[in-house]
């Protein structure tokens, strides 16, 4: 594909015109001096999004979809037409600091097989609280970057990730049949295909939470767990050939333990027990019991107002 921009900013949106305009303002105020293409994909919004973008933002490329296909399908529509050397994703309810693109693109300069991630600010708009979240793998707990990605993605928002456009020709676009968690699958494929991850280390992306998170409902947590287990089963034979990785049963056990913690944090105790038992079946009862005890200890810590050092759980 011929590139004529340094970066394409892809923003999928659905019925969020006021937040979308705030997101656009954060893009338009960037200090990056390269050529930027902004693509807004209106996923069949009913709040006059396309009309307002057409009228007020003549320099923004608008793709208006006739039916709702979900965020991943919307991103794919933009990726097919994007002409930037790099792709920067921004969710329509998120924001960037003014130096976001400059920081990310500079980190990728002269590095052919890399993609990058920044740290983020998690802004709870209802509680009026902000928290800085480091987005690095936990190499004390996991043996490698790919090991952590397989078990529980530490990259909590695509709004903090920049990827070379050519990578999508190698690792493929998003799987549109999956509505939850496909961001993590993309990062896994990038690493498997030989792309190194660069951590820029600055909290220059802002993830805004503004309502009850439906991604943490029991149904959606089950879907996410099922999708993650399926991805591991599919990718593991290839990963096993290229990386020093723990046995697949260990990864299954860790995934079930991770989701058990998420169930417990959201007070879904029946699902917590079920996922803990699944973890035990793939490892051992002492391993599962140890994780359950840790879940309870973490709850007690929170009750005693001990602030965690990072946001817990898989937010993607």
- Judge contact between 12 and 49, C-beta under 8 A: no
Domain boundary among 177, 209, 241: 209
Examine the domain organization and report whether 233 and 283 are in the same domain: yes
Examine the domain organization and report whether 249 and 176 are in the same domain: no
Q: Which residues of 283-299 are buried (b: 16+ CB within 10 A; e: fewer)?
A: beeebbeebbeebeebe
Asked if residue 315 belongs to a domain, the reply is: no
Examine the domain organization and report whether 186 and 260 are in the same domain: no
Asked if residue 127 belongs to a domain, the reply is: yes
Beta-bridge partners for 161: 117
Examine the domain organization and report whether 25 and 131 are in the same domain: yes
Q: Which residues contact 147 (CB under 8 A, 6 or more apart)?
A: 245, 246, 251
For the purposes of burial, counting CB atoms within 10 Å of the CB of 127, is it exposed (0-12), middle (13-18) or buried (19 or more)? exposed
Predicted confidence at residue 308, as pLDDT, reads 45
Asked if residue 238 belongs to a domain, the reply is: yes
Asked if residue 308 belongs to a domain, the reply is: no
Give the Cα separation of 17 and 72 in Å (integer).
19
Predicted confidence at residue 180, as pLDDT, reads 82
Examine the domain organization and report whether 272 and 170 are in the same domain: no
Where do we find the tokens 């937040």?
19
Asked if residue 311 belongs to a domain, the reply is: no
- Judge contact between 127 and 212, C-beta under 8 A: no
Task: Give pLDDT < 50 ranges for the chain.
Answer: 308-316
Give the Cα separation of 120 and 200 in Å (integer).
11
Domain boundary among 156, 191, 209: 209
Examine the domain organization and report whether 224 and 242 are in the same domain: yes
Asked if residue 237 belongs to a domain, the reply is: yes
Of 150, 180, 160, 167, the C-alpha closest to 311 is: 160
Give the Cα separation of 198 and 114 in Å (integer).
7
Examine the domain organization and report whether 94 and 240 are in the same domain: no
Asked if residue 249 belongs to a domain, the reply is: yes
Predicted confidence at residue 52, as pLDDT, reads 97
Q: C-alpha angle with apex 95: 91 to 96, nearest 5 degrees?
A: 115
Examine the domain organization and report whether 148 and 169 are in the same domain: yes
Beta-bridge partners for 198: 116
Asked if residue 312 belongs to a domain, the reply is: no
Tally of domains within the chain: 2
Examine the domain organization and report whether 177 and 200 are in the same domain: yes
Examine the domain organization and report whether 278 and 147 are in the same domain: no
User: Does the predicted model carry a pTM greater than 0.85?
Assistant: yes
Q: C-alpha angle with apex 202: 138 to 147, nearest 5 degrees?
A: 20
* Domain range for 235: 217-303
Domain boundary among 209, 232, 258: 209
Examine the domain organization and report whether 66 and 176 are in the same domain: yes
Predicted confidence at residue 125, as pLDDT, reads 87
Instruction: Assign residue 50 the CATH number of its domain.
Output: 3.90.550.10
Examine the domain organization and report whether 155 and 262 are in the same domain: no
131-139 CB contacts, 8 Å cutoff, 24+ apart: 131/311, 132/203, 133/203, 133/207, 133/310, 133/311, 134/201, 134/310, 135/160, 135/199, 136/199
């Amino acid at each position: 594909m011929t590139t004529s921009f340094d970066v394409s900013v892809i923003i999928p949106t659905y019925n969020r015109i006021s937040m979308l305009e705030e997101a656009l303002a954060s893009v338009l105020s960037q200090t990056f001096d390269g050529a930027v293409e902004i693509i807004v994909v209106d996923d069949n919004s009913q709040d006059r999004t396309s009309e307002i973008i057409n009228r007020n933002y003549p320099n923004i490329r608008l793709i208006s979809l006739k039916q709702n296909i979900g965020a991943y399908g919307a991103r794919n529509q933009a990726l097919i037409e994007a002409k930037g050397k790099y792709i920067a994703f921004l969710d329509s309810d998120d924001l960037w600091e003014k130096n976001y693109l400059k920081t990310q693109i500079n980190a990728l300069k002269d590095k052919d097989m890399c993609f990058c991630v920044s740290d983020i600010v998690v802004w709870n708009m209802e509680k009026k609280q902000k928290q800085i979240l480091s987005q690095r793998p936990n190499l004390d707990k996991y043996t490698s970057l790919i090991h952590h990605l397989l078990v529980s993605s530490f990259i909590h928002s695509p709004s903090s990730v920049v990827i070379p456009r050519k990578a999508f020709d190698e690792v493929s676009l998003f799987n549109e049949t999956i509505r939850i968690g496909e961001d993590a699958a993309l990062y896994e494929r990038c690493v498997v295909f030989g792309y190194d991850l660069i951590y820029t280390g600055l909290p220059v992306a802002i993830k805004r939470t503004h309502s009850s998170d439906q991604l943490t409902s029991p149904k959606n947590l089950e879907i996410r767990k099922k999708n993650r287990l399926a991805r591991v089963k599919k990718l593991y034979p290839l990963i096993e050939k290229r990386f020093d990785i723990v046995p697949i049963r260990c990864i299954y056990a860790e995934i079930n333990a991770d989701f058990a913690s998420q169930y417990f944090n959201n007070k879904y105790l029946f699902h917590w027990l079920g996922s803990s038992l699944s973890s035990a079946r793939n490892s051992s009862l002492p391993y599962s019991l140890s994780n359950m005890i840790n879940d309870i200890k973490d709850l007690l810590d929170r009750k005693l107002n001990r602030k965690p050092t990072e946001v817990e759980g898989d937010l993607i």
